[in-house]
């Protein structure tokens, strides 16, 4: 928009009779008083400013621009397909195998379109007034190899059967075809997509509507099917660190896919993804797609608790010897069994395991077995370890819980501060502004331009960069090495100060254990009643807060998982408490 170039236009506005004109991005005149957009557009005079162009090409381009001024005909499902494509590409760049995009996610998405009656079926929805190509199973593979053709017969590279995209497709995307029907007939003025209004109002029973958070659920289902080394918490953290498109993912749409009005509510996300929410959506989509039993989670799989426990023990700087105790807890509770770990959506009461959350809960239980965590016993063991380490400096150091707490508390505070600072600096507004209608577009773009200019001026004054520097993706948030002089690495420390020999076996000096909860909800859910920090020791609170930050989950969620592991480990004790409660109830009756 340029007010100087629009001064030559002297006609009066048809709405307010003012003579004050500006130029839109399409080259049309709009009134700066009432924002009325005219059909007149500014002619291109200086053709030398456009290199390698001819007059015929310019005039032909202007005519086509006029025809497509409101963009291509596109459906909401095509917008979600673009988001899934870029999310799959991001996962590929993070080290995930290309077969996840080309084979697994491709089939899941195609199955979703078929189940939701949007494509690959005899009577697709939202197809009145136009012919829709019905793809049969024997045709779909070849069509998707060249690029999926959805409701608007759009061709663009998405899933490639061979796993390798051709150079021509990668650099030259096939353009959307010019609309075969006019926008006034097909597209509502309330949205840029053809079915934006209908999609937002659609409430068909048994149909799961796709949303931006559910695209992450689809990606996680694909990762789980492939048994990749990315857990749900890792996936959400990569989203938070902007390695995977999620916030303002619509910016990856082509320029010709105009997005405004109701589309804003569908594709704009104004909050970070929540662990429990994405987990529930994962199960919901798996059931809706009627997926078969997933590949088995065996002991050599990354998602098995034995392997994940080792990973998190390394990350929170705990001794390696604790891994054998964690494996014993896994064996005693039965949470390492194949049938328990493998996701089966078709089964009754289908429920996939929260693999990362379960592994962390096992470590918390092991810490309670060793140190009790009652704000008393762990400090007395720390005194013994401190005395031993002073006398025997050349021998293998005993693990000192107090010293570990001090190191981890400082590291956690530093990480939390940087995380909160990065969140505070995050720019939620997209570079591609959203507007409710084309009448509002000039105003929205003008405001966005003013905001960008103010941000640049402010960043210059306070000497700050306008955006937070993007970190390299990593599976570990905390790194510990023996060579680090500033921070002690406890990986090689011994647990001799915590264990005692009895015959040929080792027992913990801690002979007691307190349960995280003794009361569960009645019925099948078996959730905890409440979680209040004031009811628990400070050591236990710190460990929960440490692991909760690591997984970006609520502390109460981890406490609940710890209680469920304890219930499996101390099943006899729980059964005794149930019998006592039943006897007391009978006694009260009599």
Residue 322 to residue 166: CA distance in whole angstroms: 50
- Per-residue burial over 220-243, b = 16 or more CB atoms within 10 Å of its CB, e = otherwise: bbbbbbbbbbbbbbbbbbbbbebb
> In Å, how far are 98, 106, 107, 215, 274 from 210, measured between CA atoms?
24, 15, 16, 7, 17
| 8 Å CB contact between 121 and 134 | yes
Report pLDDT digits (tens) over 302-330: 999 999 999 999 999 999 999 999 999 99
Pairing state of beta strands 21-23 and 28-31? antiparallel
Q: Which distant-in-sequence residues (6+ apart) come within 8 Å of 300 by Cβ?
A: none
Q: What is residue 581's predicted lDDT score, i.e. its pLDDT? A: 53
Residue ranges of the alpha helices (H) in 147-297?
167-171, 183-186, 196-201, 212-226, 232-240, 262-267, 275-289
Per-residue tokens: 142: 């070849």
Residue 100 to residue 88: CA distance in whole angstroms: 8
| 8 Å CB contact between 106 and 115 | no
* DSSP-assigned letter for residue 191: B
pLDDT beneath 70, residues of the chain: 1-9, 15, 25-27, 35, 39-70, 126-189, 435-441, 443-445, 448, 451-452, 455, 458-470, 520-530, 573-590
Q: Vertex 80, ends 79 and 86: CA angle to 5°? A: 95
> In Å, how far are 58, 306, 312 from 341, measured between CA atoms?
62, 12, 18
Residue 77 to residue 79: CA distance in whole angstroms: 5
Q: What is residue 531's predicted lDDT score, i.e. its pLDDT? A: 78
Residue 446 to residue 454: CA distance in whole angstroms: 12
Q: What is residue 554's predicted lDDT score, i.e. its pLDDT? A: 94
Q: What is residue 77's predicted lDDT score, i.e. its pLDDT? A: 93
Per-residue tokens: 185: 């007939």
CB burial of residue 211 (10 Å; 0-12, 13-18, 19+): middle
Say whether 325 sits in a helix, a strand or coil.
helix
* DSSP-assigned letter for residue 554: -
DSSP secondary structure letters along 193-228: STTHHHHHH---TT-----HHHHHHHHHHHHHHHT-
Contacts by 162-170, CB closer than 8 A, 24 or more apart: 162/102, 163/98, 163/99, 163/102, 164/98
pTM as predicted: 0.77
Per-residue tokens: 471: 């970190």
Q: What is residue 577's predicted lDDT score, i.e. its pLDDT? A: 57
Q: Which distant-in-sequence residues (6+ apart) come within 8 Å of 176 by Cβ?
A: 72, 73, 74, 152, 154, 254, 256, 257
| 8 Å CB contact between 29 and 41 | yes
- Per-residue burial over 425-453, b = 16 or more CB atoms within 10 Å of its CB, e = otherwise: eeeeeeeebbbbebeebbeeeeebeeeee
Task: Say which residue the tokens 């210059």 belong to.
Answer: 460
Question: From the centroid of its chain, how far is CA 373?
Answer: 33
Other CB atoms within a 10 A radius of the CB of residue 156 amount to 18
CB burial of residue 352 (10 Å; 0-12, 13-18, 19+): buried
Q: What is residue 137's predicted lDDT score, i.e. its pLDDT? A: 43
């Amino acid at each position: 928009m340029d007010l100087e170039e629009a001064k030559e236009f002297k006609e009066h506005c048809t709405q307010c009779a003012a003579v004050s004109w500006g130029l839109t991005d399409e080259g049309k005149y709009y009134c700066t008083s009432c924002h009325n957009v005219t059909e007149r557009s500014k002619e291109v005079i200086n053709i030398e400013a456009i290199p390698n162009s001819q007059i015929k090409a310019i005039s032909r381009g202007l005519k086509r621009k006029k025809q497509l001024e409101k963009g291509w005909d596109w459906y909401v499902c095509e917008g979600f397909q673009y988001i899934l494509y870029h999310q799959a590409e991001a996962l590929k760049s993070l080290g995930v195998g290309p077969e996840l995009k080309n084979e697994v996610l491709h089939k899941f998405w195609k199955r979703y379109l078929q189940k939701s009656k949007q494509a690959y079926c005899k009577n697709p929805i939202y197809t009145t007034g136009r012919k829709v190509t019905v793809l049969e199973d024997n045709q779909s593979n070849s069509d998707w190899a060249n690029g999926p053709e959805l409701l608007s017969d759009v061709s663009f590279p998405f899933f490639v059967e061979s796993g390798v995209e051709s150079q021509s497709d990668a650099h030259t995307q096939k353009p959307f075809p010019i609309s075969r029907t006019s926008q006034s007939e097909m597209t509502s003025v309330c949205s840029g997509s053809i079915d934006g209004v209908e999609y937002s109002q659609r409430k068909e029973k048994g149909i799961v509507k796709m949303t931006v958070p559910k695209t992450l659920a689809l990606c996680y289902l694909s990762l789980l099917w492939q048994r990749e080394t990315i857990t749900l918490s890792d996936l959400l953290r990569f989203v938070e660190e902007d390695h995977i498109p999620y916030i303002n993912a619509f910016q990856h749409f082509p320029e010709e896919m105009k997005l405004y009005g109701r589309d804003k509510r569908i594709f704009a996300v104004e909050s970070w993804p929540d662990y429990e929410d994405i987990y529930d959506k994962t199960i919901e989509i798996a059931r809706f797609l009627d997926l078969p039993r997933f590949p088995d989670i065996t002991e050599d799989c990354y998602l098995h608790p034995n392997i994940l426990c080792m990973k998190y023990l390394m990350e929170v700087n705990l001794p390696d010897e604790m891994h054998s105790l964690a494996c014993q807890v896994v064996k005693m509770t039965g949470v390492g069994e194949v049938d328990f770990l493998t996701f089966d959506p078709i089964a009754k009461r289908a429920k996939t395991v929260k693999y990362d959350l379960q592994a962390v809960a096992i470590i918390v239980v092991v810490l309670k077995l060793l140190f009790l965590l009652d704000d008393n016993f762990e400090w007395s063991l720390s005194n013994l370890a401190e005395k031993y380490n002073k006398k025997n400096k050349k021998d293998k150091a005993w693990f000192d819980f107090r010293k570990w707490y001090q190191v981890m508390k400082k590291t956690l505070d530093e990480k939390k501060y940087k995380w909160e600072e990065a969140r505070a600096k995050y720019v939620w507004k997209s570079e591609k502004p959203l507007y409710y209608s084309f009448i509002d577009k000039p105003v929205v773009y003008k405001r966005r331009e003013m905001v960008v200019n103010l941000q640049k001026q402010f960043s210059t004054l306070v000497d700050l960069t306008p955006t937070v520097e993007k970190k390299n993706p990593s599976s570990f948030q905390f790194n510990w090495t023996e060579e680090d002089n500033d921070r002690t690495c406890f990986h090689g420390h011994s647990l001799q100060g915590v264990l005692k020999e009895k015959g040929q076996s080792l027992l913990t000096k801690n002979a007691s254990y307190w349960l995280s909860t003794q009361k569960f909800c009645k019925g099948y859910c078996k959730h905890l009643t409440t979680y209040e920090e004031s009811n628990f020791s400070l050591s236990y609170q710190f460990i929960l807060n440490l692991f909760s930050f690591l997984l970006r989950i609520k502390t109460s969620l981890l406490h609940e998982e710890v209680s469920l592991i304890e219930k499996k480990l101390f099943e006899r004790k729980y059964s005794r408490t149930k019998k006592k409660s039943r006897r007391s109830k009978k006694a009260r009756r009599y």
